[in-house]
Copies of this chain bind each other. A is one copy, B any other.
Amino acid sequence: MKPKLAAPLETTHWFNTDGPITLDALRGKVVLIEAFQMLCPGCVSHGLPLANRVFETFSRDDVAVIGLHTVFEHHEAQGGNAALEAFLHEYKIRFPVGVDAPSPNGGPPKTMRAYNLQGTPSLLLIDREGRLRKQTFGLERDLILGAEIMSLMREGAGATFDERAPDPHAAGCDDAACAIPNAQP
């Protein structure tokens, strides 16, 4: 099955960005969308920290990370922008976050419906040409996601990402490593 163009984002508000973000404007980058709810325990403990690691690891010229607040339950508790703003502040979420537009008759919001997401956290990967290439619900492993993002990056031109500086270690063992005395880094 050939991958199809990812459905457009239908949103009512954005945080951590100057204006609304569209997938069209991100064409040329790999895009990771993390769909979450602020009162979803798995989003707080797994999904959002993973999205943040992606945001901190890859070059922003190559990979865009977007959060999507897809409220499908507890609308009265999670539906307000003030609550989401406080949540993003306290959990130190720095990437842009859009609020999925409510559906006229309730239930899952519009973008969530367009992708037929099963719940939160869900993760979407979109390639440089705007096509949906992966969609998962629930836990996602860093090793696999790192490989998938790089695979999509390599389909285009660039494939660079920020390198961590090597950890300096003194001689002897600590929790992380055992160092040879007088080894030259």
Q: Which A residues form the contact surface with B (CB < 8 A)? A: 37, 39-46, 53-54, 57-58, 72-74, 76-78, 80, 82-87, 89-91, 108, 116-121, 136-139, 141-151, 153-154, 159, 161, 163-164, 166-167, 169, 173-180, 183-185
- By the criterion CB–CB under 8 Å, are A173 and B80 in contact? no
- By the criterion CB–CB under 8 Å, are A180 and B139 in contact? no
Residues of B within 8 A of A44 (CB): 44
How many chain copies does the complex carry? 4
- By the criterion CB–CB under 8 Å, are B138 and A161 in contact? no
- Kindly provide the distance from the CB of A166 to the nearest chain B CB, expressed in whole angstroms: 6
Residues of B within 8 A of A89 (CB): 74
- By the criterion CB–CB under 8 Å, are B121 and A177 in contact? yes
- Kindly provide the distance from the CB of A142 to the nearest chain B CB, expressed in whole angstroms: 4
- By the criterion CB–CB under 8 Å, are A164 and B141 in contact? yes
- By the criterion CB–CB under 8 Å, are B108 and A143 in contact? no
Residues of B within 8 A of A147 (CB): 57-58, 146-147, 149-150, 153, 161
- By the criterion CB–CB under 8 Å, are A42 and B178 in contact? yes
**Cα A40 to Cα B173 with chains together (Å):** 7
- By the criterion CB–CB under 8 Å, are A57 and B143 in contact? yes
Residues of B within 8 A of A174 (CB): 41-42
Q: Which of B139, B148, B175, B180 contacts A177 (CB 8 A)?
A: B139
- By the criterion CB–CB under 8 Å, are A179 and B77 in contact? no
- By the criterion CB–CB under 8 Å, are B136 and A42 in contact? no
- By the criterion CB–CB under 8 Å, are B83 and A176 in contact? no
**Cα A167 to Cα B185 with chains together (Å):** 36
* Known interface pairs A42-B175, A86-B74; A142-B142 also in contact (CB < 8 Å): yes
**Cα A146 to Cα B177 with chains together (Å):** 21
Task: Name 24 interchain pairs, CB-CB below 8 A, sorted by A.
Answer: A40-B173, A41-B173, A41-B174, A42-B178, A43-B178, A57-B144, A74-B83, A74-B86, A76-B82, A77-B80, A90-B173, A118-B179, A119-B169, A119-B183, A136-B166, A137-B167, A138-B176, A139-B167, A142-B143, A143-B145, A144-B163, A147-B147, A151-B154, A154-B159
